[in-house]
Amino acid sequence: MNKERIIMLSDCQSFYASVEKAANPQYNGKPLAVAGDPARRSGIILAACPLAKQQGVSTAETLKEALAKCPELIVVRPRMQHYIDVSAQITGILRTFSDLVEPYSIDEQFIDITGSISLFGSPQQIAAAIQDQISKETGVYARIGISYSKVTAKMACDLWAKKIKGGLFTLAREQLPELLWPQPIGNLFMVGRRMSAHFHSMGLTTIGHLAQMPLAELKWRMREKFHKNCDIDAELYWRIAGGLDDSPVHPATYEAPPKSVGHQMTLPRDYYTLAEIKTVLLELAELVCRRCRRLAVNGAVVSVGCQGASFEAPTGFSRQSKMSDPTNATSLVYEAAVALFRRHWDGQPVRRVNLSLSELSDENQYQLTLFESRPRYRELERATDNLKNKYGDTIIGRAASFTDSGLIKDRAGKIGGHYK
């Protein structure tokens, strides 16, 4: 009989703000938030410390709104590379307790301690030791959910550990009917506000209602509700509600082979002309193909999409096309992307553009042609890739990227859209 797993989810409280407070002791006892551009008093709140939250400041609101609620708010510009470094430091701390550590986000990490009990004590003792070590080394407070699976550890953390003194909570399998199932359906992991409303309209108001419904009936109800086949989604929600999750905790070094490689850019303003958009497509093709070259794969299918700025009256499209031969050559992917975009764009202003390659294959296996010098393309792009890897993305680039519509120069100083 297999031994019941013991899995934890560690979640760092107000991570960006906590890191800044740890680095700047003079901010202790004062409300602090990390936001886009404090000098210009613009941008959105990325993180707020508990003191700021007590005064009504919340993430995702504008800096102007936050300052109206809390005029004494200390606003710090984000330092994304530093946050990534601290997150990696926390990964290292967790790995002293188990080699099975899987980062879930920059501030959340799973750890499987099933094999560590004999070395470090009970799950509660290990969780307390992890909390203590993270606090001592980084100044960050971690809340930890403990359970038998990743999905139940996540809910143990979100629904209980984050809300109780001490920040530790254990959710056992036999406690699901008593503790988890009476919870509102909106508290189920992966159920947002809109999906919660859909479940309510189906008469499923608690997690238990969903967990106890026969799967076949749930699939039928969702097909009737959304007028399409929702069997995969139905089974996913049903399994989460029932605490059914056998997925392993992958070590931090694990990287599943991708089925596609893609990238998207949110533009700083509306782009109205094809000439401007072609610059973005060229930069996206470069980013996607560079990653494909790093993975040593070619792509056979190019996908292109765009969106306008309005959420109430959305515009845009998403289309794909198969190229004559798989490739990771930037110029060839760019040509295919432009042709696809030109064919389907309705001329409306564009605020977001995405490009991806799929049907990936080994780059060393390709069809020779009379009209294309693949070795020449590969040598040229390998040389430019090496320069960028060594000296940064802006050491060499295409002329179009240095026009007003180019974004690479600005993005080179950012991570995830925020300054390093």
Catalytic residues: 108
Distance from C-alpha of 412 to C-alpha of 420, rounded to nearest angstrom: 9
Measured N-to-C along each axis, helices 374-391 and 274-295 cross at an angle, to the nearest 10 degrees, of 90
Task: Give me the residue label for tokens 């901010």.
Answer: 27
What pairs with residue 418 in β-bridges? 415
Under the phi-then-psi rule, with left for phi > 0, alpha for psi from -120 to 50, and beta for the rest, what region is 29?
A: left
Neighbour-count burial for 269-301, b at 16+ CB within 10 Å, e otherwise: eebeeeebbbbbbbbbbbbbbbbbbebebbbeb
Give the torsion through C-alpha atoms of 339, 386, 84, 258, to 10 deg: 50
Distance from C-alpha of 54 to C-alpha of 386, rounded to nearest angstrom: 49
246 is in an annotated binding site: no
Cα-based distances in Å from 328 to 214, 258, 341, 355, 411: 47, 15, 19, 13, 22
What pairs with residue 37 in β-bridges? 42
Distance from C-alpha of 208 to C-alpha of 26, rounded to nearest angstrom: 47
Cβ burial of 95 (10 Å; 0-12, 13-18, 19+) is middle
Distance from C-alpha of 368 to C-alpha of 374, rounded to nearest angstrom: 8
The single-letter code of the amino acid at 167 is G
Distance from C-alpha of 360 to C-alpha of 259, rounded to nearest angstrom: 7
The number of C-alpha atoms within 13 Å of 146 and in the hemisphere containing its C-beta is: 17
Question: Tell me, what DSSP letter sits at residue 256?
Answer: P
Residue 129 near residue 117 (C-beta atoms within 8 A): no
107 is in an annotated binding site: yes
- Coil/strand/helix, residue 121: coil
**Binding site feature residues for Mg(2+):** 11, 107
**Binding site feature residues:** 11, 107
